[in-house]
Structure 1
Amino acid sequence: MSTEIVELVEQVTPYVSTAVTAYGAAVLSRAEEAAVGSAVEGTAGLGRRILQLLWRRREEGERAELERVVGEAADEQDDTYSAAVLGRLLRRALEDDPGLREELSAILPAPAAGPVTITASGERSIAAQHITTAITGDGHTPPRP
């Protein structure tokens, strides 16, 4: 499995899980977004769009499997289990359909640059996000530019 697919599934799964939690099994047939709370609405709405995109691109037999998996995830009380099941389904779909990868990438928001945490501990430890040259021992002469 390609790294691209793994990263895409990691990006998509929280949206899909939130949509299934918010809308239940009706997420596949829901035409309009319901008021489920403003913070969840955007995430659930995008997850609903992702699942419906997946639905439209599947064959009849695959649609039945998608319905079954979404129904199980909606009934399940364990969010971790639901996310894993939905993630497996998404992975298979993305492996089978390169066009789906492109469509999903187009509707996903760009990943936000989060805070960077850097930790250094111990004598003479250094920490930095980007290091050009680092000399931490005794008796070294720094390079001249």
Structure 2
Amino acid sequence: MSAEIVQLVEQAGPYLATAVSAYGAAVFTRAESAAVDATANLGRRILQAVWRRRDERGRAELEAAVQDAAEAPDDADAAAAVRLQVRRALREDAELLAELARLLPAAGETVQVTASGERSIAARTIGTAVTGDHTTIRP
């Protein structure tokens, strides 16, 4: 197995665990949530990218691993099963490996953001942020 894959999955591990904890088995169908922190949302994007690139059997295996991890959040073996599914997908798909490498922060990269004041927000990346009263967002 490529050292690059091992390193990427190791780096993605906390994001995956947080996404499973925040979204559970709905991680594959839920849109990004402003109420969920950036770590969970990045993990959700990683899992959705892997899921989209798998065949039916691969999707079912990934879904089962995520379901098990969601039902037993303190089970290290269940979390490892999710990482194993991601690792398998990366071994089989070089484009997916490149895609996930672009999603994850560079090794050693740190970001410091300060938000101050009423209704302030701080984000590295953001889709939609609404801080006003009585706001309606339409697609």
TM-score (ref. length: structure 1): 0.70
Quote how far apart the aligned CAs of 1:32 are.
3.2
Q: Which residue number in structure 2 is paired with residue 9 of structure 1?
A: 9
In structure 1, distance between residues paired with 2:109 and 2:23: 29
In structure 2, distance between residues paired with 1:4 and 1:32: 27
**Unaligned stretches of 5+ residues in structure 1:** 115-145
Tell me if structure 2 keeps the 8 A contact 1:69–1:86: yes
Quote how far apart the aligned CAs of 1:79 are.
4.4
CA spacing shift, 1:43–1:57, aligned 2, 3 Å: same
Q: Which residue number in structure 1 is paired with residue 76 of structure 2?
A: 80
Quote how far apart the aligned CAs of 1:15 are.
0.4
In structure 2, distance between residues paired with 1:71 and 1:31: 18
Matched to 1:32, the amino acid is: E
Tell me if structure 2 keeps the 8 A contact 1:17–1:79: no
1:60-105 C-alpha deviation (Å, 9 max, x unpaired): 2211111111111100142422321111111111111111110000
- Does structure 1 residue 111 correspond to structure 2 residue 107? yes
**Unaligned stretches of 5+ residues in structure 2:** 111-139
From the CA coordinates, give the structure whose radius of gyration is larger: 1
Tell me if structure 2 keeps the 8 A contact 1:16–1:47: yes
- Does structure 1 residue 93 correspond to structure 2 residue 89? yes
RMSD: 1.6
1:94-125 C-alpha deviation (Å, 9 max, x unpaired): 111111110000111112268xxxxxxxxxxx
In structure 1, distance between residues paired with 2:4 and 2:25: 28
Q: Which runs of 4+ in 1 moved over 6 A?
A: none
Residues 28-43 of structure 1 mapped to structure 2, 5 A cutoff: 28-36=28-36, 41-43=37-39
Matched to 2:85, the amino acid is: L
TM-score (ref. length: structure 2): 0.73
Aligned residues between the structures:
110
Matched to 2:65, the amino acid is: V
Tell me if structure 1 keeps the 8 A contact 2:21–2:73: no
